[in-house]
C-alpha cells in the first residue's frame, strides 16, 4: 500500500512539476471527485486563517490569571462562548462542581543545621506586566496534596521514581519517617509523592533543578526563556494513573445531583503533604544535606555537591488548603452535520490555566477558535459538514483533566453512540510537528502532514519533521509516525475511558523554556520566545483543521489497519524482549549477588547493602499475542479504504457505523487491573510514570512489576482483544466485499 502510494506521489510530483496543476492523488476516505471538492474546501479554509487573531485572543485571554473558579476564567469562558456563537455555532456552557483545593497556608522552613525560611514566591520581573499580578494569582502549590504539618530529616531522592529508591537501598538509606526532596521531571509529578508515601516518607518537596529547565539549559527569564531562580512549577498531584477527573466523582459526572465521596474517602488524593519550590528555595536545603554523595546521574546544576542525606538538614513543612468545590465550565460549540448529525467529530483544548497560561493552554485554545471561525466562514458560503463538528473549550484541565473527564463521564452513552474521533491540542510552539494518536488513523494523518507547509522552510511539515529525523540519526521516515498517547491532556477520557480514536498535536522543538505552570507563562514570554508572529499557530490550525474537516466529510471513515498492525508488532516485540532481558538481567544480577562480586567490588569506606536476589523470570507464553497480531495483520491486509469509497451510499453507511466504533474493540469494559477507569488495552499512562505512556499496559506493567502470573493472564486477555479487533476488521472487509 505504502509503496504504491509513494510511487503515486512521485508520479504526481513529476506531473505537478510539469504542469503546476493541483495534485491528482485522492484523500483517504474520499472518492476522486470527493477529493477534488475537499481540496477546494481546504484551500478556502486556509485562506480564512489569520495569525493576528491568535495574537489578539491570546492577549485578551491570558491578560489575567484564570485558574479554575477565578473571575477571569469565567470571563474567558464567556468570551469564547460569545465568539463561537458569533461564528454560527450552537453553544452551551456546561458547568460541573468539582473539588478544587487552593492554598490557605504554605510554610516550609529548615530548622537545622541552619535556619532558612522558603520564600515560596515568584516576584515580578522587568518587562513583564503579567508577572506583577500576584494578588490574583494562585501561589505555587501542588493541587490535591493533603493538608499536613510534618517535621523531619530531609532525604534527596533524585526524581523520586522507583529506580531511585533502589539506589537509596543500596546505600542503606530508608526514607521512612523522613521528608523527601525530589527534582521535577523524570516522571509526572504526581508519581513522586505517591512513591514517597509507599516508601514511608511523611512529606514531599518537589523543585525544578536549573539543570532541567533553568540556567543550565539557557538564559533565564526575562533575559531568556528558561526558569529563573524563583520560578515554580505548579501542578496537580492526584493519582492520575488511577483515574483523572473530579476526585469525588470517580467514573461519573460531577453534576449537581451527583453522589459525592467525602474528601477523605477519595483514593486520588496524595497520602502525604507535597509542595513545589524554586531552586532558589531548594539550594539552602540541598546544600545542608550530608551523607553519601548522590550518584552522577542524580546531580543537578546548582553550585553544590549533591548529597543524599538523611539530614542533618531538618525541615518543617506545613500545608493547609481551602477544600472547596469550584465551577468547571466547558464551552461546547456545535455545527450540526448535514448528512450524519449523530456522528460527531470533536475538537478540543482546555482554557483554564495555572496563572496566565499564555502557552499552556491559550496557545492551543486560540487555534481551536481560529479553526472554528474559519469553519464558520465556510458555513457562511453554504457548505455544511456531513458530520457534526463539536468544538470544546475545557475547564479545570490543570487540576486533573476534570472538565473534559466530567463531560465525557456525563455524556458517556451518547458519546459511545456518536463520537467518531477526538482531536486535542494544548500548548504549542515553534518548530516541528509532534503528534500522537490512534494508529488506526496514522495513514490518514500522514497525508495531512504532507499537505501543510512549514512556515519557516516552505516544505511540508512532514518533510521538515523528516529532516529532523535524518539529522538526528533516526533515518528516513517512511511516513509520519504518531507517538503513543499516555496522559497529560484532555484526550485521555475520550481515548482511554471511552475508546474513541484520538489525536494530540502541536509544534515544538524550537521554543523550549522554563515557563511551564509558572507565573512567567505570559503573553510577553510567549510572543518573545515561543511563536513570535503566530505562524506556527496558523500552521497548527491548518493541520488540526484538515483533521477535523476530513473526518467530518469523509465518504468512508479513514481508518486503516496495516499501520496499526505494524506498530502493534513493535510493541509486542518490546514486551517479549522486556521479559527476555529481565530474565538474563536477573540471572546475571543474582549471580553477582550469590558469588559475592558486589561485596568484593564495593568500597569498604562507604555503606553498600548488597541487594537481595530476585525471583527468576519464567518463560511466558506469548503465543496469544503473536496469534492475535497475525490475525490483525491478515485482516488489515484484506481491508481497503479505496475499494470502500466506490461502494453504494447504503453500504458505506453500514461500514461507517462499524468503523466509528472500531477503536472501542481495543478496549474491555473491565479495564486494566486495579484501575478499571482505563479501558483501552493498547495505550495507558504508566502506573509509575504518570503522563508517560505504557503500550500494551496490562502486559507490560505486570512484567515490569515482576507479577508474572498477572502478565500471563494479561497476555491471554490481550490476545482475545486482538482477535476480537481482527474480527471487526474482517466484518468491515466483508461489508465491502458483499
- List of residues contacting a second copy (CB under 8 A): 210, 215-220, 224, 226, 293, 299, 301-305, 431, 456-457, 459, 463-464, 467-468, 470-472, 510, 592, 596-598, 600-601, 603-605
The CA angle 302-306-312, to the nearest 5 degrees, is: 120
Q: How far is the CB of 586 from a second copy (least distance, A)?
A: 15
Of 258 and 593, nearer to a second copy (C-beta) is 593
Nearest to 77 by CA among 307, 311, 403, 435: 403
Burial 553-583 (b: 16+ CB within 10 A, else e): bbbbbbbbbbbbbbbbbebbeebbebbeebe
Q: How far is the CB of 467 from a second copy (least distance, A)?
A: 4
Of 456 and 478, nearer to a second copy (C-beta) is 456
Of 263 and 470, nearer to a second copy (C-beta) is 470
Query: What string of H, E and C letters represents the secondary structure of 693-725?
Result: EEECHHHHHHHHCCCHHHHHHHHHHHHHHHHHH
Residue 555 makes CB contacts below 8 A (sequence gap 6+) with: 29, 30, 31, 34, 645, 652
Q: How far is the CB of 444 from a second copy (least distance, A)?
A: 24
Q: How far is the CB of 166 from a second copy (least distance, A)?
A: 15
Q: How far is the CB of 300 from a second copy (least distance, A)?
A: 9
Of 509 and 676, nearer to a second copy (C-beta) is 509
Residue 489 makes CB contacts below 8 A (sequence gap 6+) with: 350, 397, 401, 424, 426, 504
> Per the structure block, which three cell numbers stand in for 364?
492551543
Q: How far is the CB of 307 from a second copy (least distance, A)?
A: 8
Of 457 and 674, nearer to a second copy (C-beta) is 457
Which ranges in 99-200 belong to alpha helices (H)? Answer: 162-170, 191-198
Q: Are 419 and 501 in contact (CB under 8 A)?
A: no
Q: How far is the CB of 465 from a second copy (least distance, A)?
A: 9
Cα–Cα dist 308/695, whole Å: 34
Q: Are 724 and 711 in contact (CB under 8 A)?
A: no
Q: How far is the CB of 303 from a second copy (least distance, A)?
A: 4
Of 460 and 548, nearer to a second copy (C-beta) is 460
Residue 702 makes CB contacts below 8 A (sequence gap 6+) with: 673, 708, 710, 711, 713, 714
Q: Are 138 and 102 in contact (CB under 8 A)?
A: yes
Of 47 and 597, nearer to a second copy (C-beta) is 597
* 321 phi and psi angles, rounded to 5 deg: -125, 155
Residue 371 makes CB contacts below 8 A (sequence gap 6+) with: 347, 391, 541, 544, 545, 548
Nearest to 155 by CA among 291, 316, 310: 310
Q: How far is the CB of 508 from a second copy (least distance, A)?
A: 12
Of 162 and 224, nearer to a second copy (C-beta) is 224
Phi-psi region of 591 (alpha: psi -120 to 50; beta: other; left: phi over 0): alpha
Of 1 and 468, nearer to a second copy (C-beta) is 468
Q: How far is the CB of 468 from a second copy (least distance, A)?
A: 5
Residue matched to cell numbers 461564528: 87
Of 24 and 467, nearer to a second copy (C-beta) is 467
Q: How far is the CB of 513 from a second copy (least distance, A)?
A: 13
Of 103 and 431, nearer to a second copy (C-beta) is 431
Of 605 and 649, nearer to a second copy (C-beta) is 605
SS3 of 326, please? strand
Q: Are 246 and 325 in contact (CB under 8 A)?
A: no
Q: How far is the CB of 46 from a second copy (least distance, A)?
A: 22
| Dihedral, 298, 197, 68, 259 alpha carbons, nearest 10 | 150
Amino acid at each position: 500500500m505504502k509503496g504504491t502510494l509513494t510511487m503515486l506521489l512521485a508520479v504526481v510530483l513529476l506531473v505537478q512539476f510539469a504542469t503546476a496543476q493541483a495534485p491528482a492523488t485522492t484523500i483517504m476516505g474520499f472518492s476522486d471527485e470527493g477529493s477534488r471538492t475537499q481540496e477546494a474546501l481546504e484551500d478556502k479554509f486556509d485562506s480564512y486563517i489569520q495569525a493576528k487573531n491568535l495574537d489578539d485572543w491570546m492577549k485578551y485571554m491570558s491578560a489575567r490569571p484564570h485558574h479554575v473558579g477565578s473571575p477571569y476564567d469565567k470571563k474567558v469562558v464567556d468570551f469564547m462562548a460569545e465568539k463561537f456563537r458569533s461564528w454560527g455555532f450552537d453553544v452551551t456552557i456546561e458547568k460541573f462542581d468539582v473539588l478544587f483545593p487552593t492554598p490557605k497556608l504554605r510554610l516550609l522552613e529548615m530548622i537545622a543545621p541552619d535556619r532558612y525560611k522558603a520564600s515560596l514566591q515568584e516576584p515580578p520581573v522587568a518587562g513583564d506586566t503579567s508577572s506583577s499580578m500576584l494578588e490574583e494569582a494562585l501561589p505555587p502549590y501542588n493541587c490535591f496534596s493533603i493538608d499536613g504539618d510534618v517535621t523531619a530529616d530531609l532525604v534527596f531522592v533524585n526524581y523520586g521514581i522507583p529506580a531511585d529508591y533502589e539506589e537509596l537501598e543500596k546505600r542503606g538509606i530508608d526514607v521512612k519517617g523522613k521528608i523527601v526532596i525530589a527534582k521535577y521531571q523524570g516522571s509526572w509529578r504526581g508519581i513522586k509523592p505517591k512513591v514517597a508515601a509507599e516508601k514511608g516518607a511523611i512529606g514531599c518537596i518537589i523543585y525544578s533543578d536549573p539543570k532541567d529547565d533553568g540556567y543550565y539549559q539557557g538564559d533565564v527569564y526575562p533575559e531568556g526563556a528558561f526558569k529563573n531562580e524563583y520560578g515554580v512549577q505548579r501542578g496537580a498531584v492526584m493519582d492520575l494513573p488511577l483515574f483523572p477527573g473530579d476526585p469525588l466523582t470517580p467514573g461519573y459526572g460531577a453534576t449537581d445531583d451527583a453522589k459525592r465521596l467525602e474528601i477523605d474517602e477519595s483514593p486520588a488524593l496524595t497520602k502525604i503533604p507535597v509542595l513545589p519550590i524554586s531552586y532558589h528555595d531548594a539550594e539552602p536545603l540541598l546544600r545542608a544535606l550530608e551523607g553519601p554523595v548522590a550518584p552522577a546521574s542524580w546531580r543537578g546544576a546548582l553550585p553544590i555537591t549533591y548529597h543524599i542525606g538523611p539530614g542533618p538538614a531538618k525541615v518543617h513543612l506545613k500545608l493547609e488548603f481551602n477544600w472547596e468545590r469550584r465551577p468547571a465550565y466547558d464551552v461546547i460549540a456545535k455545527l450540526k452535520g448535514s448528512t450524519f448529525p449523530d456522528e460527531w467529530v470533536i475538537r478540543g483544548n482546555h482554557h483554564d490555566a495555572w496563572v496566565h497560561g499564555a502557552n499552556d493552554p491559550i496557545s492551543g485554545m486560540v487555534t481551536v477558535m481560529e479553526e472554528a471561525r474559519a469553519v464558520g466562514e465556510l458555513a457562511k458560503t453554504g457548505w455544511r459538514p456531513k458530520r457534526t463538528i463539536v468544538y470544546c473549550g475545557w475547564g479545570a484541565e490543570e487540576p486533573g483533566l476534570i472538565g473534559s473527564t466530567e463531560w465525557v463521564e456525563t455524556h458517556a452513552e451518547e458519546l459511545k453512540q456518536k463520537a467518531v474521533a477526538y482531536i486535542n491540542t494544548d500548548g504549542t510552539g515553534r518548530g516541528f510537528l509532534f503528534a500522537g494518536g490512534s494508529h488506526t488513523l496514522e495513514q490518514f494523518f500522514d497525508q495531512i502532514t504532507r499537505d501543510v507547509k512549514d512556515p519557516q522552510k516552505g516544505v511540508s511539515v512532514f518533510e521538515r519533521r523528516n529532516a529532523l529525523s535524518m539529522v538526528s540519526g533516526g533515518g528516513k521516515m517512511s511516513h509520519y509516525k504518531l507517538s503513543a498517547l499516555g496522559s497529560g491532556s484532555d484526550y485521555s477520557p475520550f481515548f482511554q475511558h471511552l475508546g474513541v480514536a484520538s489525536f494530540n498535536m502541536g509544534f515544538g522543538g524550537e521554543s523550549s523554556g522554563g515557563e511551564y505552570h509558572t507565573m512567567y507563562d505570559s503573553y510577553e514570554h510567549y510572543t518573545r520566545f515561543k511563536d513570535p508572529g503566530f505562524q506556527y499557530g496558523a500552521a497548527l490550525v491548518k493541520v488540526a483543521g484538515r483533521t477535523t474537516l476530513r473526518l467530518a466529510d469523509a465518504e468512508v471513515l479513514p481508518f486503516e489497519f496495516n499501520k496499526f498492525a505494524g506498530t502493534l508488532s513493535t510493541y509486542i516485540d518490546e514486551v517479549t524482549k522486556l521479559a527476555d532481558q529481565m530474565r538474563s538481567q536477573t540471572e546475571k544480577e543474582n549471580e553477582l549477588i550469590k558469588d559475592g562480586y558486589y561485596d568484593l567490588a564495593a568500597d569498604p569506606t562507604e555503606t553498600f547493602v548488597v541487594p537481595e536476589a530476585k525471583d527468576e523470570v519464567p518463560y511466558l507464553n506469548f503465543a496469544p499475542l503473536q496469534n492475535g497480531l497475525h490475525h490483525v495483520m491478515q485482516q488489515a491486509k484484506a481491508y481497503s479504504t479505496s475499494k470502500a469509497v466506490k461502494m453504494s451510499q447504503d453500504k458505506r453507511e453500514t461500514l461507517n457505523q462499524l468503523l466509528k466504533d472500531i477503536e472501542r474493540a481495543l478496549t474491555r469494559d473491565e479495564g486494566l487491573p486495579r484501575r478499571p477507569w482505563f479501558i483501552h488495552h493498547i495505550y495507558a499512562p504508566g502506573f509509575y510514570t504518570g503522563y508517560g505512556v505504557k503500550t500494551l499496559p496490562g502486559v507490560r506493567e505486570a512484567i515490569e512489576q515482576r507479577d508474572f502470573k498477572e502478565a500471563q493472564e494479561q497476555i491471554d486477555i490481550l490476545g482475545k482483544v486482538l482477535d476480537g479487533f481482527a474480527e471487526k476488521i474482517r466484518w468491515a472487509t466483508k461489508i465491502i466485499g458483499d
